[in-house]
Structure 1
Amino acid sequence: EFGPERRVIAFQNLGIQCVRRREVRDAILQRVSRGINPFNVPREQLLQTEEYDLNVVRLCFQIYLQDETGMYSTMLPPIVSNPIYDNRAPNTAELRICRVNKNSGSVKGGDEIFLLCDKVQKDDIEVRFFTQTWEAKGSFSQADVHRQVAIVFKTPAYCDTSI
């Protein structure tokens, strides 16, 4: 469905083919030779491939309108999608808690909790406990993160231990 009232197109079974780090430069040169550069980035900047994040992409769509003779001669401005993140990459995947061994503990803190999750990065984790007026973090070290899928931590003391 596409028209003046509805400007959404759905693509079924669309896949994204990954490019290896060593092949990025060739892929960029191929796009430049075809005139594909929707953000008009200077060529020198495009070729600085070491700064590319290969875990996120945007799709660029180019539309040509058919004229009266049947030729596709009228080119519309390119449309670029929102970023699409690789869900398998730990640094871009949305964190998902799969299982936790306890959901209650002492107000004094110090309870050991085992949290099973999808892939996480050891150096980019914090476990937060909070209410509207209080916040504290669970304590653990990088050694307490097991194979990117489990975190063992100790609970903090609650702000009011008299409850």
Structure 2
Amino acid sequence: MLVSIMGTAKHSDVASLGKECRDFVQPGLSDPEQREDRSTDHSTNCGVKGRSSVRTSVYFSKSFLALFTAAATYVHGFWAGGFLELRATSAYCADKPLAFPATSWSWLPLRHQCRWHDGGATDLVPWYVNPVVFICLVAAAVCMVLAIQTAHRNRTDDT
């Protein structure tokens, strides 16, 4: 056991530990309250996976979840927007006389429009697809930046 009942450690035991444990169990800090104060300054104690490394994995997980949600929503919009329709344009844009060209589309933002002869247009992609995709992409970017920042902070704290 590294710390005896009195709260002191041998110098050789402390030298064999990582940086976190050297800071946690430092010779001369025999009072348990002083050791607790020193341990709260660091994210990990004596080889136990710390909060910041868990935080890093949570940020990465949230980033991948946001990317998956964006991709799934984009595929849903692609499917619901009639991009894969093999029918004639007049079959799924049949409300009014069509203009020439009858449809227009774009990939980002996802848009598939029926153009009418009177100048109006109707978007076949549901209204919520593009906002959800962009919000998820922004959330994924923010989570990725936070994960990288937290991982970098862990790496610099360990050295």
The TM-score range, normalised by the shorter chain, is under 0.3
The structure with the larger Rg is 2
Compare the two structures and name the one with the higher strand fraction.
1
Identify which of structures 1 and 2 has the higher relative contact order when contacts are C-alpha pairs closer than 8 Å and 6+ apart: 2
Instruction: Identify, as 1 or 2, the structure richer in helix.
Output: 2
* TM-score, normalization by structure 1: 0.22
